[in-house]
Homo-oligomer: A and B are copies of this chain.
């Protein structure tokens, strides 16, 4: 089953290959030639080979998308955003799922390099070491939803850093990044909880939550209790263990902010297991809105981030790179109050 090539079309139309190429890419040609070529091409069901074109042009179309886990509804929506933008630009998308593991991420970057994919949207898991090779090769990368963790533990003022006004250079060295405004999302949630009278508020975090936790500390101010800031690994089990451990070791806490939907899930499950009633015994705010948040009883109060937009904007940036110097973007979050928070008991 041989593929129809430009040569076949040229022969059948009685013209040279260059003419066919021109006609198909909108170049100049006499109306009659154009028509004949078009007719023949349609008749032979000719499709130009992206392989040949890309090789020739030294410019591979296509954008790569690297994220931790397609199973997470957050990343699913983000991916849909990227796909939507890519489709409207007619670009194919190569997807890789890293499992949150820098090593796999690194391998997948290698794979993209091999495929000559030079535009990448990523929800990064690794740090500068992981992304260095990609950048050195001249890949255009845009981070979405996350940015590589700071190597340090010190709380840093992200907003200022984002504006590039001070602080030492960020690991990503100016890579455009599309983020939800975690700082403001967390602040709003914490203030809401404070307003309900809560004082002992816990943060249940996961990998890559440096920004959120720093915002949490800042919003809580002197109320912050280090024991109430816990981190879980990436897995569902780890999240459950962390939630359960937290609730058992500190029965005095009255509210918890779960830093992601898996952590929220874990919190709901752990609370149920320990017979903590939400919101009577424990108020819960979950980061990220997911469909099931509304199905829970009580329905969960959440910080919603525009996941699909995150992906769409990132894809836009990566496609426009070169044309316009891409800038980082901060998208708003929204506190959606449902039923999982009550006054301090």
**Interface digits, A67-90 against B, CB 8 Å rule (1 contact, 0 not)?**
001111100110110010001001
A93 touches B90 (CB 8 A): no
Q: How far is the CA of A104 from the CA of B86 in the complex (A)?
A: 13
A71: nearest residue on chain B (CB-CB)?
A: B76
Contact of A94 among B73, B94, B97, B295 (CB under 8 A): B94
Residues 77-122 of A contacting B (Cβ, < 8 Å)? 77, 79-80, 83, 87, 90, 92-97, 104, 107-108, 110-116
Q: What is the CB-to-nearest-CB distance from A274 to chain B, in angstroms, rounded to a whole number?
A: 15
Given contacts A73-B76, A269-B294, contact A51 B47 (CB under 8 A): no
A49 at interface, CB cutoff 8 A: yes
A265 at interface, CB cutoff 8 A: yes
Residues 262-312 of A contacting B (Cβ, < 8 Å)? 265, 268-269, 290-292, 294-297
A1 at interface, CB cutoff 8 A: yes
A52-60, A158-166, A220-228: which lies at the interface = A52-60
A48 at interface, CB cutoff 8 A: yes
Contact of A77 among B3, B71, B94, B269 (CB under 8 A): B71
A323 at interface, CB cutoff 8 A: no
B111 touches A83 (CB 8 A): no
How many copies of this chain? Answer: 2
A138 at interface, CB cutoff 8 A: yes
B96 touches A47 (CB 8 A): no
- Chain B neighbourhood of A73, CB < 8 A: 71, 73, 76
B297 touches A297 (CB 8 A): yes
Contact of A80 among B70, B90, B110, B112 (CB under 8 A): B70
**Interface digits, A12-50 against B, CB 8 Å rule (1 contact, 0 not)?**
000000000000000000000000000000000101111
A262: nearest residue on chain B (CB-CB)?
A: B291
- Chain B neighbourhood of A249, CB < 8 A: none
A137 at interface, CB cutoff 8 A: yes
**Interface digits, A184-224 against B, CB 8 Å rule (1 contact, 0 not)?**
00000000000000000000000000000000000000000
Given contacts A94-B92, A294-B269, A295-B269, contact A52 B55 (CB under 8 A): yes
Q: What is the CB-to-nearest-CB distance from A152 to chain B, in angstroms, rounded to a whole number?
A: 29
A115: nearest residue on chain B (CB-CB)?
A: B50
Q: How far is the CA of A296 from the CA of B295 in the complex (A)?
A: 6
Q: What is the CB-to-nearest-CB distance from A304 to chain B, in angstroms, rounded to a whole number?
A: 15
A64: nearest residue on chain B (CB-CB)?
A: B92
A80 touches B69 (CB 8 A): yes
- Chain B neighbourhood of A97, CB < 8 A: 79-80, 83
B83 touches A95 (CB 8 A): yes
B114 touches A47 (CB 8 A): yes
Binding site for B on A (CB under 8 A): 1, 3, 45, 47-52, 54-55, 60, 62, 65, 69-73, 76-77, 79-80, 83, 87, 90, 92-97, 104, 107-108, 110-116, 133, 137-138, 236, 265, 268-269, 290-292, 294-297
List 19 A–B pairs whose Cβ atoms lie within 8 Å, in order of A's numbering.
A1-B138, A47-B114, A48-B114, A50-B114, A51-B51, A62-B115, A70-B70, A71-B76, A73-B73, A79-B95, A83-B97, A87-B107, A90-B111, A92-B94, A92-B115, A94-B94, A268-B295, A295-B295, A296-B297
A-B CB proximity, top 5 nearest: A292-B292, A1-B138, A95-B95, A70-B76, A297-B297
